[in-house]
Amino acid sequence: MSSPAPFHTLALPHHPYGLYAERLATVPALLDAHALDSPQVIVVTDEHVAAHYLRPLTHQLEKAGRTVVPIVLPPGEQTKAPVPLQRIYDTTLTAGIDRATPVLALGGGVVGDLAGFAAATLLRGLPLVHLPTSLIAQVDSSIGGKTGINHAVGKNLIGAFYQPVFVNADPTTLNSLPLREWQSGLAEVVKHALIAAPDFFDELETYHADVLSREPQRVSSVVQRAAAIKAGLVADDVHEQGQRALLNFGHTFGHALESVCGYGVLTHGEAVFLGMRVALRVSHRLTPHPSLVRALEIVQGFPVDASVQSVARGDLMASMQHDKKVKNGTVRYVLLRAIGDPYITTDVPAQVIYDAWADTLAESPLRLTTTAASNE
């Protein structure tokens, strides 16, 4: 059997790696093809993902002569924390790993970030393989080497840049996602199209219904295209000094919403969809362009399924000041001149941002209030 081919190669200068879209049953062959021939393999996953995929993956690995050390963690954002990290350290170090023992991160963004950070810091670096099973993980978080955990002060504040040996995104795993998670995960897909690929945005517009309903052929095409866009941006800017920051389009606003609403009210994707509406409104106000109006209409077509909640304008503004990408207190906004033509600016009048928040939240289940926050 010939070795599977990647659908894209992330062209890092000293460490290029492949993005594959093979079934999970192919993982043992992929490990062999990448000279990851250690007899012992660590698999980090969560309870939800384990219920579907841990047993078949373990079976395939054992059939190929490997010993599997499974680490099954509780699902959800609270797992990106010191205690689960310590559990990975304790389990792996007690199992007698060495520097060649691969860590397989089987799951969504939480598992990938946590297992990736553990791999980055065990014995100063174990070989890492991402096996993303959620849409956001397949098109975004598994690509580019960001790993880490949360801190009480904010999300992702403890972490490292650490690249995997390869990424394999089995498209069939997306079928087991709840529909809300699928649809909100499309936020990152739409974002990649908006900042980098007008023709891809056209595809998303044309096949909007198929994409929302997870039509299998369209899923593969969309996921691979979105992943390749992310890989292209990362390859040119691994440590986020420059254009990788464009990937924050919609996120500065979205993170503020997530933070102020409390995590769990909105999915990350829903917050990013709302954040992109704010960003598109601000963009159009500063540099009007017909494609921005069209983009806003398409983005408004993705559902946001939150409960009604009041959000204080002052809290949103204060929260943006605390984003970890803020340097010396200045917020850097990613905006568009047109679809596919992003830029970064620090110079946006506060009133323009207020108006964009007001218009966006008025069309969502959230209610904007102008109560000043203590630090506005």
Q: How far is the CB of 157 from a second copy (least distance, A)?
A: 6
Structure tokens at 314: 């002052």
How many CA atoms, within 13 angstroms, populate the side-chain half-sphere of residue 130? 36
Q: Which is nearer to a second copy, 270 or 315 (CB)?
A: 315
Does residue 124 carry a catalytic annotation? yes
Which candidate in 240, 289, 294, 337 is catalytic? 240
Q: Which is nearer to a second copy, 82 or 290 (CB)?
A: 82
Using the structure block, give the residue that is written with the tokens 């174990």: 126
Using left for φ > 0, alpha for ψ between -120 and 50, and beta otherwise, residue 40 falls in beta
Q: How far is the CB of 2 from a second copy (least distance, A)?
A: 28
As a whole number of angstroms, the distance between CA 50 and CA 106 comes to: 8
Q: Are 311 and 372 in contact (CB under 8 A)?
A: no
Does residue 332 carry a catalytic annotation? no
Q: How far is the CB of 231 from a second copy (least distance, A)?
A: 19
Does residue 230 carry a catalytic annotation? yes
Does residue 80 carry a catalytic annotation? no
**Which residue type occupies 324?**
K
Does residue 208 carry a catalytic annotation? no
Does residue 248 carry a catalytic annotation? yes
Q: How far is the CB of 119 from a second copy (least distance, A)?
A: 11
Q: Are 126 and 99 in contact (CB under 8 A)?
A: yes
Which candidate in 130, 168, 188, 284 is catalytic? 188
Does residue 63 carry a catalytic annotation? no
Q: Give the 3-state secondary structure of 289-315.
A: CHHHHHHHHHHHCCCCCCCCEEEEHHH
Q: How far is the CB of 36 from a second copy (least distance, A)?
A: 13
Which candidate in 80, 192, 248, 284 is catalytic? 248
**Angle, alpha carbons 252-84-106 (nearest 5°):** 75
Residues that bind a second copy (CB under 8 A): 38, 82, 86, 89-90, 93-94, 98-100, 117, 120-125, 146, 148, 151-154, 156-161, 239, 324-328
Q: Which is nearer to a second copy, 126 or 186 (CB)?
A: 126
| Run of H or E residues at 149 | strand 146-151
Q: Which is nearer to a second copy, 240 or 341 (CB)?
A: 240
Does residue 191 carry a catalytic annotation? no
- Kindly list the catalytic residues: 124, 146, 188, 230, 240, 244, 248, 251, 255, 268
